[in-house]
Each structure stands twice: as C-alpha cells, then as structure tokens.
Amino acid sequence: MNKDVYLVNGSDAETHAAFRNRIQLAAAQVSESFGPDAIKFTITEKSPPAFSIIPFRKKKIAAISVYHSSSTPIVAFKNLDGFRGAYRVHEALPVSYRKNWNDGEATPGACLLTLFSKKRNIDYETFINRWHNGHTPLSLRIHPLWNYVRNEVKEVLTKESPKFNGIVEEQTRIAADLLNPFRFFGNPLIIIPRMITVYADTKSFIDYGTMETYLAAEYHIKSK
C-alpha cells in the first residue's frame, strides 16, 4: 500500500473553521470518488498559544494522508487553493493508539505536526540513523506521546513541493500533555536538562532553518 501526504495552506482571509470545513469536504469527496484504502487529515483548527516553549507557526496548514494501492497520486488535491506540496512517504508507527471513535470526529488530544529537511552537512544514511534510532526513542522516553506517526519522504510528487525529508505527527491524549511544558518535558527538576538534550539531539540531524511546527488536530475520514 502506498501513502501520499498532501500539504495545503489556508489563507489569512478564511477562518480556522472555514479552512477545516474546506479540507474536510475535499477529503470526503476524494474518499468517495477515488475509493482509497484510508484517508485522514491533520490540520491547524485554532490559533496556537501566544506564549509557548514550542515555536508554533501561526499559519494555517493541513496535511492530508491518503493510503491507496495505486502508484498514481491523486491530482484532485493539487487543485485546492493553497496547495503547497505532495509527497510519497514511508510510514512508521513507533507507538500508536487504538482508535475507538467514529470517522469524521476529531481524534482526542492534540497533535504536534512537524515538517523538516535533513541537516546539510550529513549524508542521508546518517540523517536516517539519527532520526530513527536516536531521536525517536528519545522522544518516546521524554514526551507523553500517545501516537507517533513518522513519515520518511521517499519521493517529492510535484515540482513546487518544498524539499522536506520528514513529516511527523506526535499526538498526546490530552492537549495539556503537549501545551504544558512540565507535562511535555517533565517536572521542574528535570525540564531544563531534558529540553537541552532534545534541542541538541534534534539539531544533530535536522536543518533548523527548514523546520516548521504546528499545533494541530486530526480527523479520520475513512479508517484503515
């Protein structure tokens, strides 16, 4: 099964609710017309906190994930206003939730959506090793993650797509687990060392100039 991720930006003129409704309708129409095995989207459905230790971007974005057997990307998303890019990815789930809510309903909790490219002065093999074998277990050890979707970009599907190497969704059971630094990193005695450790580890394989982080929510349109 192939997995493609489509990035779409919302405009400054549309509200978060209007943007979510637009993406939800587009995903539902693709699900009905193309019959993928599964389809979901992760979206910025509200503004991030004014102050946060996580540098959330304020722009609206949606990452639409389509699982299908065809080798041909679904062109319908390229026609959406704000289309930004399309990627064929390899998905890994180092930890995953057991879904017990209906399709169309918001996934409980909150999601940290991160887009990034590899550090320029390391080769791709080193990038993957540090990401998969170093950073992933570190994140699972420190952060209260309920679901971790690690998408390694295998192919950029459109010429206009930014050259990201990774698209990651880190989800917590409740929003406070992500937004409260003492829940996301740990109690006051360990939070600073942990923050330094995560920062140093991340900077060892990611080009920080390319990294984008968003406070997001997830919606399944058609489950696997």
CB 179 within 8 A of CB 165: no
Domains for the chain: give ranges and CATH numbers. Answer: 2-222 (3.30.70.100)
Mean pLDDT, the chain, integer: 96
CA contacts within 13 A on the Cβ side of 146: 17
Averaged pLDDT for residues 3-31: 97
Which is nearest to 151 in space by CA: 130, 127, 135, 167?
167
- Local confidence band at 70 (pLDDT 50, 70, 90 cut-offs): confident
pLDDT at 119: 96
- Local confidence band at 224 (pLDDT 50, 70, 90 cut-offs): confident
Virtual torsion, Cα 59, 99, 155, 125, nearest 10 deg: 100
Q: Is the pLDDT of residue 13 over 90?
A: yes
Backbone angles phi, psi at 223, to 5 degrees: -80, 160
Averaged pLDDT for residues 62-68: 97
Averaged pLDDT for residues 83-100: 97
pLDDT at 74: 83
pLDDT at 75: 80
- Local confidence band at 148 (pLDDT 50, 70, 90 cut-offs): very high
Averaged pLDDT for residues 171-191: 96
DSSP 134: I
Q: Is the pLDDT of residue 133 over 90?
A: yes
- Local confidence band at 90 (pLDDT 50, 70, 90 cut-offs): very high
Averaged pLDDT for residues 128-148: 97
How far apart are alpha carbons 73 and 25 in whole angstroms?
19
Mention every residue, 6+ apart, whose C-beta is less than 8 A from residue 192. Answer: none
Averaged pLDDT for residues 105-131: 97
Q: Is the pLDDT of residue 71 over 90?
A: no
pLDDT at 72: 83
Virtual torsion, Cα 115, 120, 124, 129, nearest 10 deg: -70
pLDDT at 73: 81
Percent of the chain with pLDDT over 90: 93
Where is 17: in which H helix or E strand?
A: helix 16-34
DSSP 77: G
